[in-house]
Amino acid sequence: MPASPVPDSPVPAGPVPAVNTVAASTGTAADFALTSTGLTKRFRTGLTMRAGSDQLAVNRIDLAVPSGSVYGFLGPNGSGKTTTIRMLLGLIQPTAGSHTMFGMPMPDHQARALPLVGSLVEGPAFYPHLSGRANLARLDAADRTADPATARARIDAALDRVGLLAAADKRYKAYSLGMKQRLGIATSLLRPRRLVILDEPTNGLDPQGTREVRVLIREIAADGTTVFVSSHLLAEVEQVCTHVGVMRAGRLVYQGPLAELRGQAGLRVRSPKPDLAARVLAELGLAGIRQSGQEVTAELGAMLPEVICERLVLAGVPVAGLETPRRSLEDEFVQLTGEGFDVD
Amino acid sequence: MSTEDTSAHPGRWLQLAGPGRDEWPGARAHPVPAWLRFFNSELRLVFGRPRNLALLGVLAIVPVFLGILLRLTIGTSGGPGGPPFLNQLAGNGVFLALVVLTLTLTVLLLPLSVGVVSGDAIAGEAGLGTLRGLLTVPSGRTRLLAVKYAAIVVFSLTACLIVSVISLIMGFILFHVGSVTLLSGTTVSLGSGVLRVLTVALFAGAAMASLGAIGLAASTLTQHPVGAIAGVLVLTVASEICDQLPELSAIHSYLPTHYWLSWDGLFRSPVDWSGIEHGLVSYAVYAVIFVAIAWAKLTSADITS
């Protein structure tokens, strides 16, 4: 498997490109933009040293974010998403566990990996008295690997991409909430990235702004960049994600392709002969058969509905109706995270 | 170009495979010194912040007001008392700078300015949330601290030089200007006198840079810049009070503020450098200790702001 593609640059090419040998190394770990093993964070609450007073913010999570995926990191507020992101970015030290970026063990290779990562952590934060452009210039200046010669062009390209070019010279404090959020996203677009981590990028945005962020995420992903986006609102990221990880009270309770989470379809058969129908379904090996009145429900599993229908009819079951209701993602989600989105 | 040994360039194949693409980020060392770019950005931040400019403005106005005030009062009563060098002021405007420097140091104007800038250095970024942005760039924690302290040193020297230069100008405008009579009674040329005053300004700048290290350390301990700034000022006042108590004479020379005004040796002939030397050693020790504390704290801290 070749190394992840280098996204097309929005600016003219810089001088001689060089390859990051570690990042380019092959191996299974490199197929994941991000992995973690037993990542744990325990915050000491208060000044006491008692272990009982500690708060386990993140509890042994094993993330696996495939290269090129759009990974929705979901969970209610307070479930440990931001703490996880802070650990991934080296802002806080894990209490236990480890993680890798592009196959490179962290935090040893942090100086190498992080320039390949654009991030927005816990909302936008900028100098209020500086303009949007000056704020981006400040961050670019702090990057020892950024090319000063292309800074101006890269900054303008990033501002243009989030639609802030017209407001580039306005002071940050005069920005609306949506503009602030977009400037935050612009920081992750200052250079071509292999991974973009966005923590609650739609927070505080109106539906229009939320839609814009979704479009932006799609565009970033279209360049081949892996996107790791956290949200407490499933609906906001559901449409763009290829993979999801679901956090609940510090634990990663589900992780996998979105399609799999969605794939738990059921089967509902209406028939005047429900007993017979139930027997046929049992013969077909379907699980979770339940009968109520004229209705029989079961889990569809890998079975095709048209095959089931044929067998029912051949067995002499009058089929008045046959449905394969998919449980909504929202239902799955609520089941995974508990009673909805309240803090556990 | 094609005959070049490609083994020295592990990335050459990539260049051939993808011409017209941007550099691989994070892979190439830059010919332009990146630290200079970051340092420039930090200086622009410190000297572009309206609040810091206001502080420097106040420091620039003090010599003007003080000069006018002294010009009006000294004409009538040139008697003893008041800060050192006040008596010489009527004789020579050069001494206005020394009076103003002494006052701005002891009434905390200079320590306040440096306390604000140094206390804000890390805590301010943490409070705004920009610290996490800088660290995820990644700027590097040690590198960030080095750039921050370098900017504090520049600000300290600038503040002291502003006070001194404007005092000199005001002194020249308001008072008699000519050859300078030293404390030892010897007379030296005006140029030599100005040079001595500017040396005092640099010495005061070193004192403030050392105080700035304390502020920087305080700044890594909190997310609230006001706390760090207050800490610096409380420490300064406490040190100055302790320095006045004869019961504590054993520790006087270890106090951070002890040598702040020990530059009168410069105005003797021959020049007595011992006060300056002791001061610089004391400032250097304080700076090293507190920058080390700041480094230990920042490089191990969880950034949760």
- In a mutational test of the A interface, the residue from B137, B141, B142, B143 whose CB has the highest number of chain A CBs within 10 Å is B137
- What CA–CA distance (Å, rounded) separates A17 from A270? 65
pLDDT of A211 reads 87
Model confidence pTM above 0.95 = no
* Chain A positions in Cβ-Cβ contact with residue B30 (cut-off 8 Å): 144-145, 147-148
* Chain A positions in Cβ-Cβ contact with residue B14 (cut-off 8 Å): 6, 17-19
> In this structure, are residues B112 and B155 in contact, taking their beta carbons and an 8 Å threshold?
no
Mean pLDDT score of chain A: 82
B8 pLDDT tier (thresholds 50, 70, 90): very low
Per the CB < 8 Å rule, is B130 touching A125?
Answer: yes
Token representation of residue B81: 């008392």
Q: B26 in a domain, yes or no? A: no
The pairing of beta strand A226-231 with beta strand A70-74: parallel
* Chain A positions in Cβ-Cβ contact with residue B48 (cut-off 8 Å): 129-130
B304 pLDDT tier (thresholds 50, 70, 90): confident
Q: B208 in a domain, yes or no? A: yes
Q: Which residue has the higher pLDDT, A284 or B17?
A: A284
Per the CB < 8 Å rule, is B132 touching A187?
Answer: no
Q: What residues contact residue A225 under an 8 Å CB cut-off, 6+ apart?
A: A7, A192, A193, A194, A195, A196
Shortest Cα–Cα distance, A115 to chain B (Å): 5
A194 pLDDT tier (thresholds 50, 70, 90): very high
pLDDT of A325 reads 77
Poorest-confidence range of A62-66, A105-109, A112-116, A333-337? A333-337
Total CB pairs under 8 A between chain A and B: 164
Q: B112 in a domain, yes or no? A: yes
Q: Which range marks the domain in which residue B289 is found? A: 45-72+88-300
pLDDT of B24 reads 43
**Segment B22-34 mean pLDDT:** 52
Poorest-confidence range of A293-302, B11-20, B250-259? B11-20
Mean pLDDT score of chain B: 85
For residue B27, pLDDT beyond 60: no
The total domain count for chain B is: 1
Q: B144 in a domain, yes or no? A: yes
Q: Which helix (H) or strand (E) holds B5?
A: none
For residue A172, pLDDT beyond 60: yes
Distances (CA, A) of A30 to A39, A65, A231, B273, B287: 19, 11, 26, 63, 44
Token look-up 């930090």 returns B42
A339 pLDDT tier (thresholds 50, 70, 90): low
pLDDT of B26 reads 45
B/e letters for B258-267, b = 16+ CB within 10 Å, e = fewer, are bbbbbbebbb
Q: B15 in a domain, yes or no? A: no
**Segment A76-88 mean pLDDT:** 91
Q: B21 in a domain, yes or no? A: no
For residue B56, pLDDT beyond 70: yes
Per the CB < 8 Å rule, is B27 touching A19?
Answer: yes
First-to-last C-alpha distance (Å) of chain B = 50
Poorest-confidence range of A21-25, A222-226, A303-307, B234-238? A21-25
The pairing of beta strand A70-74 with beta strand A243-248: parallel
The pairing of beta strand A226-231 with beta strand A243-248: unpaired
Q: B211 in a domain, yes or no? A: yes
Per the CB < 8 Å rule, is A145 touching B129?
Answer: no
Q: Which residue of A has its CA nearest to B12?
A: A18
**Segment A306-324 mean pLDDT:** 88
Q: What percent of chain B has pLDDT over 70?
A: 85
- What CA–CA distance (Å, rounded) separates B276 from B265? 8
* Chain A positions in Cβ-Cβ contact with residue B137 (cut-off 8 Å): 114-115, 139, 142-143
For residue B160, pLDDT beyond 90: yes
Half-sphere exposure of A21 (CA within 13 A, CB side): 5
Q: Which residue has the higher pLDDT, B221 or A300?
A: B221
> In this structure, are residues A155 and A133 in contact, taking their beta carbons and an 8 Å threshold?
yes
- In a mutational test of the B interface, the residue from A9, A91, A117, A121 whose CB has the highest number of chain B CBs within 10 Å is A91
Domains recognised in chain A with CATH numbers: 30-258 (3.40.50.300), 265-325 (3.30.70.100)
B16 pLDDT tier (thresholds 50, 70, 90): very low
- What CA–CA distance (Å, rounded) separates B117 from B218? 12
Q: B11 in a domain, yes or no? A: no
DSSP string, B158-184: HHHHHHHHHHHHHHHHHS--SSEEPTT
Per the CB < 8 Å rule, is B28 touching A126?
Answer: no
**Segment A214-239 mean pLDDT:** 87
Q: Which residue has the higher pLDDT, A19 or A72?
A: A72
Mark residue A103 as left, alpha or beta (left: phi above 0; alpha: psi -120 to 50; beta: remaining). Answer: left
DSSP string, B73-132: HHTT---S-SSTTHHHHTT-TTHHHHHHHHHHHHTTHHHHHHHHHHHHHHHHHHHHTHHH
Shortest Cα–Cα distance, A282 to chain B (Å): 55
Give the SS3 label for residue B56: helix
Q: Which of B25, B143, B302 sits opposite A145 (nearest CB)?
A: B25
* Chain A positions in Cβ-Cβ contact with residue B144 (cut-off 8 Å): 142
Give pLDDT tens digits for A89-127.
999 999 999 999 998 998 888 888 999 999 999 889 999
**Segment B89-115 mean pLDDT:** 87
For residue A241, pLDDT beyond 70: yes
Shortest Cα–Cα distance, B135 to chain A (Å): 7
Per the CB < 8 Å rule, is B34 touching A139?
Answer: no
pLDDT of A55 reads 81
A235 pLDDT tier (thresholds 50, 70, 90): confident
Distances (CA, A) of B112 to A11, B109, B209, B257: 45, 5, 12, 14
Per the CB < 8 Å rule, is B26 touching A119?
Answer: no
For residue A342, pLDDT beyond 70: no
Q: Which residue of B has its CA nearest to A141?
A: B38
Per the CB < 8 Å rule, is A143 touching B137?
Answer: yes
Q: Which of B10, B30, B136 sits opposite A121 (nearest CB)?
A: B136
For residue B235, pLDDT beyond 80: yes
For residue A132, pLDDT beyond 90: yes
